């Protein structure tokens, strides 16, 4: 069976690596891929967010299943076009992906289907938003969110009215995120630990796909700017069987049922971002895809073939309620370019890749890498995810960081506290003040 994976980050390296382990897979293509993906798949210079180009490739190369990694191809309608032409694609349609691409849609959907989430007011003008803030209904801090996609920067926790008004102005008047700021949500600020819960859905059923915890801020101890994710571990020790059952009951089932009832059946990975509050789990956000770097820590623990799950979900024929995961833990540390998530340089040679991959219990996933001559060089903000696997969090952390020590490129920065919150976890080395150097290249 020929498979096409769309995307070129760490998540897609983990997906192609895992699919390459499966018995029924004959050939994997990945567009556009990266230097690591090129070791397990045929990389193709194709724009994954251009539906017509993707369809032409699928027809020409007799692709039996297209697996969409990132969000953009979903919102551009790649799955809609492939499905309309009778081609199997794993991922939601554009309408179903609105559960991620529009926070207003997601919030109003949750209210309609009684999915627990933060109390909220949707505002279509800056005046209306200011009035909600001034009314005192949500107190302080409160949360201001842009409706659309804003590269992880569209959520502002406002400690007081000045910060809230500033955020409303930047989003709605200054249009910092363009069209994403036509509407804002003013939201109650929740407190508690954050966890991510994953499900594979075929539009009717949901198959539990383990849990993970991300580390979104750039620097140790959750300081610094938001990023796409600087590291993750799996499973989340906070999600035991009882909590997983509660999440399925209160969130996953009403969401899958509700999407189907509203004529937007959700097929694909559903990523449920939750805050565990004193009043129970509440949804912060949905994503219509696997997380990055969550995929890099989840997929190595998957103890069965991935391809049949994705195939059955795309075909609407899932017949089980959970996937099989191995015991033990994984911890993934992201190595980023100096300056990320702001301005950074690329084309830095990367040393030690083979040495790191040779370390026991370690997987090296590429994100922003490219091949230049016979050298692997950096080509993005998040460059690599180094994953350690062990019987417990402590050993997984030790393995990951031992391998991190074998890799070097100019400006490389990473967090020392990935997994430190997990039982048996600890920071690896002193917190680096010099990480601030990453802020000011
Ligand atoms: P989102 O993109 O909606 O997940 O928001 C990004 C981050 O902002 C989340 O991971 C939370 O840390 C934080 N956040 C979002 N909504 C809330 C809320 N209602 N209360 C507290 N923190 C929030
Ligand atoms: N790591 C968070 C995300 O993929 O959205």
What is the average per-residue pLDDT within 380-397?
98
CA-nearest residue, atom 8 of ligand 1: 155
Q: How remote is the CA of residue 141 from the centroid of ligand 1, in Å?
A: 12
> Where do we find the tokens 């539906």?
51
What is the average per-residue pLDDT within 29-54?
98
Atom of ligand 2 nearest to the CA of 229: 1
Residue 152 and residue 201 in one domain: no
Q: Which residues make Cβ contacts (< 8 Å) with residue 62, sequence separation at least 6?
A: 2
The verdict on residue 95 lying in a domain is no
Which of 119, 151, 229, 285 for a ligand 1 pocket mutation test, highest count of atoms within 8 Å of Cβ?
Answer: 285
Structure tokens at 392: 């417990």
The verdict on residue 321 lying in a domain is no
CA-nearest residue, atom 5 of ligand 2: 291
Residue 44 and residue 65 in one domain: yes
Residue 208 and residue 179 in one domain: no
Residue 77 and residue 25 in one domain: yes
Integer angstrom CA distances of residue 137 from 40, 130, 134, 204, 348: 54, 12, 8, 38, 51
Residue 130 and residue 178 in one domain: yes
Residue 157 and residue 236 in one domain: no
Q: What is the pLDDT of residue 315?
A: 97
Cβ–Cβ < 8 Å for 122, 104:
yes
Show the domain range for 396.
Answer: 328-441
Pocket of ligand 1 (CB under 6 A): 118, 143, 155, 157, 187-190, 194, 216, 273, 284-285
> Where do we find the tokens 């004959």?
26
pLDDT band at 150 (very low <50, low <70, confident <90, very high): confident
Question: Of how many residues is the chain composed?
Answer: 441
Q: How remote is the CA of residue 48 from the centroid of ligand 2, in Å?
A: 19
The verdict on residue 115 lying in a domain is no
pTM for the model: 0.95
The verdict on residue 102 lying in a domain is no
Structure tokens at 135: 């009314």
Q: Which residues make Cβ contacts (< 8 Å) with residue 54, sequence separation at least 6?
A: 4, 6, 31, 46, 48, 66, 73, 78, 81, 82
Residue 23 and residue 39 in one domain: yes
User: Taking every pair of C-alpha atoms in the chain, what is the biggest distance, in angstroms?
Assistant: 62
Domain boundary among 90, 112, 131: 90
- Tens of pLDDT along 91-141? 999 999 999 999 999 999 999 999 999 999 999 999 999 999 999 999 999
- Counting Cβ atoms within 10 Å, is residue 440 exposed (0-12), middle (13-18) or buried (19+)? exposed
For residue 247, the domain's CATH number is 3.30.470.20
Residue 339 and residue 426 in one domain: yes
Structure tokens at 415: 């967090």
Domain boundary among 144, 161, 188: 188
Q: What is the pLDDT of residue 441?
A: 33
| Total domains in the fold of the chain | 4
What is the number of alpha carbons within 13 Å of residue 51 lying toward its C-beta? 18
What is the average per-residue pLDDT within 373-399?
97
Residue 345 and residue 262 in one domain: no
Atom of ligand 1 nearest to the CA of 216: 10
Residue 243 and residue 141 in one domain: no
Domain boundary among 266, 286, 315: 315
Residue 175 and residue 261 in one domain: no
- CA distance linking residue 418 with residue 399, whole number of Å: 12
- CA distance linking residue 160 with residue 167, whole number of Å: 11
- Tens of pLDDT along 187-245? 999 999 999 999 999 999 999 999 999 999 999 999 998 899 999 999 999 999 999 99
């Amino acid at each position: 069976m020929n498979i096409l994976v769309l995307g070129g980050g760490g998540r897609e390296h983990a997906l192609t690596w895992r699919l390459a382990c499966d018995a029924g897979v004959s050939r994997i293509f990945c567009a556009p891929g990266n230097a690591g993906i090129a070791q397990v798949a045929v990389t193709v210079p194709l724009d994954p967010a251009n539906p017509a180009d993707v369809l032409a490739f699928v027809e020409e190369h007799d692709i039996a299943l297209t697996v969409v990694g990132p969000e953009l191809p979903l919102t551009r309608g790649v799955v809609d076009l492939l499905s309309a032409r009778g081609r199997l694609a794993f991922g939601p349609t554009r309408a179903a992906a609105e559960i991620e691409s529009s926070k207003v849609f997601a919030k109003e959907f949750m209210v309609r289907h009684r999915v627990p989430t933060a109390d909220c007011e949707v505002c279509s003008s800056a005046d209306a938003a200011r009035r909600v803030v001034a009314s005192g209904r949500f107190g302080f801090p409160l949360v201001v969110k842009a409706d659309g996609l804003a590269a992880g920067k569209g959520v502002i926790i406002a400690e007081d009215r000045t910060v809230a008004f500033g955020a409303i102005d930047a989003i709605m008047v200054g249009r910092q995120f363009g069209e994403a700021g036509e509407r804002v949500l003013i939201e109650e600020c929740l407190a508690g630990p954050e966890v991510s819960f994953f499900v594979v859905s075929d539009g009717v059923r949901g198959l539990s796909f383990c849990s993970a915890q991300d580390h979104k801020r750039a620097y140790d101890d959750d300081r610094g700017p938001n990023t796409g994710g600087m590291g993750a571990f799996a499973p989340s020790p906070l999600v035991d069987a009882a909590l997983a059952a509660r999440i399925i009951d209160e969130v996953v089932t009403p969401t899958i049922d509700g999407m189907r009832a509203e004529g937007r059946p959700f097929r694909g990975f559903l990523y449920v971002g939750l805050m565990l509050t004193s009043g129970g789990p509440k949804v912060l956000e949905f994503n219509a895809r696997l997380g990055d770097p969550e995929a890099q820590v989840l997929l190595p623990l998957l103890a069965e073939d991935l391809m049949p799950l994705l195939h059955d979900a795309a075909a609407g024929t899932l017949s089980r309620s959970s996937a099989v995961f191995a015991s033990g833990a994984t911890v993934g540390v992201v190595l980023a370019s100096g300056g990320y998530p702001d301005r950074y340089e690329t084309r830095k040679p990367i040393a030690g890749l083979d040495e790191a991959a040779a370390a026991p219990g370690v997987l090296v996933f590429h994100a922003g890498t490219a091949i230049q001559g016979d050298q692997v060089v950096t080509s993005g903000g998040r460059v690599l995810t180094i994953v350690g696997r062990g019987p417990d969090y402590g050993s997984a952390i030790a393995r990951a960081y031992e391998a991190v020590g074998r890799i070097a490129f100019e400006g490389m920065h990473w967090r020392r506290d990935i997994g430190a919150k997990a039982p048996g976890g600890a920071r690896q080395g002193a917190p680096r003040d010099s990480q601030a150097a990453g802020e000011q290249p």
